[in-house]
Amino acid sequence: MSAGLQIRGVSYTYGPKAALSDISFAVPAGRFCALLGPNGAGKSTLFNLLTRLLVPPSGQIMVAGHDLAKVPGLALAAMGVVFQQPTFDPELSVRRNLLFFAALHGLAGREAAARIDAALERLAMRERAGERARDLNGGHRRRMEIARALIHRPQFLLLDEPTVGLDAASRRSVTDHVHALAADGMTVLWATHLTDEVAPDDQLVILHQGRVLADGTARDIAGPDGLTPTFLALTGGEA
């Protein structure tokens, strides 16, 4: 059984509109994969399929060796998710937000506390555990949500445009922290439309109009012209 993520021949349509057309790519275990695409490329649709908010009529999705259609419970349990829209209680402290999530996974008491401390530590957020979520800046809120996604010890982390609305320094910090998680063995799928969030050694999948236009190491895809001009040339975009 191979770990990581495998997507094979997945399509999805909204009525007559094709959002994804025969998508296939694989992310090896412990790899950071940037899913890069302009607005409307199909990134959110793919995330909704991966989290089973939508069910694909065809194709196969394997998460950490588990077939999402056949054993959804196992596949979803192996997955940590950070949605594009914030999903936390602003009136609760960081720790209380994470305790609530831990309880949803059947974790309580010392076990929950230890896991929460470890997750916050990985995102350099432990000293903020007692702060009210509302009082955090945008970057720290995102890091809290990423820490929360680690509590149930997933093997695969999905993030949907996690830096939307953040300033440059916070974007860099969040991006660096998630690259560090991948360096520690986490398989990561990071959706973005921003080329500067992709590191040269990352796996890069370029999605455009529901199709995979490129899949490889970012450095190789960027070539001598650099990633931004290459991406714009491939997708017909404007600077």
In angstroms, the CA 116 to CA 70 distance is 31
- For residue 126 the two structure tokens come to 């432990």
3-state secondary structure of 165: coil
Contact call for residue 236 and ligand ATP (CB under 6 A) = no
Binding segment for ligand ATP (CB under 6 A), chosen from 22-30, 33-41, 62-70, 110-118, is 33-41
Asked whether position 41 contacts ligand ATP by CB under 6 A, the answer is yes
Does the footprint of ligand ATP cover residue 80 (CB under 6 A)?
no
Q: Is 42 in the site for ligand ATP (CB under 6 A)?
A: yes
Taking CB under 6 A as the criterion, the residue among 9, 28, 40, 216 binding ligand ATP is 40
Nearer to ligand ATP, 23 or 149 (CB): 23
Nearest to 171 by CA among 200, 204, 137, 147: 137
Minimum distance from residue 215 beta carbon to ligand ATP (Å): 16
DSSP character for 41?
A: S
Does 1 participate in binding ligand ATP (rule CB under 6 A)?
Answer: no
Looking at the chain, how many residues does it have?
Answer: 239
In whole angstroms, how close is the CB of 45 to ligand ATP at the nearest point? 3
* Contact residues for 29 (Cβ-Cβ < 8 A; gap 6+): 2, 3, 4, 64, 155, 185, 187
Does position 39 interact with ligand ATP (CB under 6 A)? The reply is yes
- 165-183 burial, b if ≥16 CB within 10 A, otherwise e? ebeeebbebbbebbbebbe
The single residue among 17, 106, 110, 239 that binds ligand ATP, judged by CB under 6 A, is 17
- Tell me if 85 contacts ligand ATP by CB under 6 A: no
Q: Applying CB under 6 A, does 43 fall inside the site for ligand ATP?
A: yes
Q: Which of 5, 7, 10, 19 binds ligand ATP (CB under 6 A)?
A: 19
Subset of residues 161 to 200 that bind ligand ATP, contact rule: CB under 6 A: 193
DSSP assignment letter at 234: H
**Residue 222 contacts ligand ATP per CB under 6 A:** no
Q: Where are the alpha helices (DSSP H) in the chain?
A: 43-50, 72-77, 94-104, 109-122, 138-148, 168-183, 218-222, 227-235
14 counts as binding ligand ATP under rule CB under 6 A: yes
Residues at the interface with ligand ATP (CB under 6 A): 14, 17, 19, 37, 39-45, 193
